[in-house]
Amino acid sequence: AQKVTQAQTEISVVEKEDVTLDCVYETRDTTYYLFWYKQPPSGELVFLIRRNSFDEQNEISGRYSWNFQKSTSSFNFTITASQVVDSAVYFCALSGLQNTPLVFGKGTRLSVIA
Amino acid sequence: SQTIHQWPATLVQPVGSPLSLECTVEGTSNPNLYWYRQAAGRGLQLLFYSVGIGQISSEVPQNLSASRPQDRQFILSSKKLLLSDSGFYLCAWRDYRDGELFFGEGSRLTVL
């Protein structure tokens, strides 16, 4: 069975601090996909990234970066120089191939304080 | 471009009343469709998914049901709502290439 664990329930940081959101996953599949989504207070889920299990290169997109470590089954998300607009719930998710459904972690609520 | 819409956005229903939430996708064919529920302060729970018309897979046994009468339409229903059915319901679609999941705006259901 697939499982995603986001051990940090809530994180609070001061604006401009860097923050890392942890994600650990479990799967028996050799090929799988990992995702991160952002859920702002409005409720709608916003896609941030999808990563194939064969691609272990870290990715950077502006202030966002992702560290995929297959050896530790982790896919951590770092926000550099956090801003108040980054305040949201962030979800990590996992899926296998053949359009199997995404399994989500319980989410991490990030509060960035001005 | 593809879009997904679900309605109603907000619903307040008494216990024991029926429920119907609708979701439609535009700009794509034969999408995989999903219903997730998010209880207050909790993660996303997969309720149903469908890979084609009339094909529904249920993940959690409960008093909810889903139907897919058309290729791009997905409906979540209940004959009699329970208090525990309150939550934020999200419809989503995904194409056959194992891409990302695209979510609708969500429907907030409160059962009183």
A79 touches A56 (CB < 8 A):
no
Task: Kindly state the tokens that stand for B79.
Answer: 């004959």
- B44: closest chain A residue by CA: A104
* pLDDT score at A71: 93
| pLDDT score for A99 | 73
Band of residue B95 on the pLDDT scale cut at 50, 70, 90: confident
A101 CB within 8 Å of a chain B CB: yes
Q: What confidence category does residue A57 fall into, taking pLDDT thresholds of 50, 70 and 90?
A: confident
Write down the pLDDT at residue B5. Answer: 95
Residue of B nearest to A31 (CA): B98
- Tokens of residue A83, six digits: 């801003």
Chain B residues within an 8 Å CB radius of A50 = 99-100
Q: Determine the residue of chain A that is closest to B5 in CA distance.
A: A44
Type of residue found at A62: G
**Bigger pLDDT: B1 vs A6:** A6
Site from A39, A46, A48, A99 to mutate, B interface, most B CB atoms within 10 angstroms:
A99
Residue, of B63 and A24, whose pLDDT is higher: A24
Pairing label, strands B19-26, A33-39: unpaired
Is B7 in the A-facing interface, judged by CB distances under 8 Å?
no
Between A and B, how many CB-CB pairs are < 8 A?
Answer: 49
Assess B105–A contact: CB distance below 8 Å, yes or no: yes
Residues of B in contact with A35 (CB under 8 A): 100-101
Which pLDDT score is estimated for A97?
81
User: What type of residue sits at position A32?
Assistant: Y
| pLDDT tens-place string over residues A1-50 | 899 999 999 999 999 999 999 999 999 999 999 999 999 998 889 999 99
From residue A89, give the alpha-carbon distance in Å to each of A10, A39, A77, A99: 9, 5, 13, 25
Cβ–Cβ below 8 Å for B43 and A105: yes
Across the interface, whether the CB atoms of B34 and A101 are under 8 A apart is answered: yes
Band (B61; pLDDT cuts 50, 70, 90): low
Q: Per residue in A58-101, pLDDT tens?
A: 889 999 999 999 999 999 999 999 999 999 999 999 998 877 89
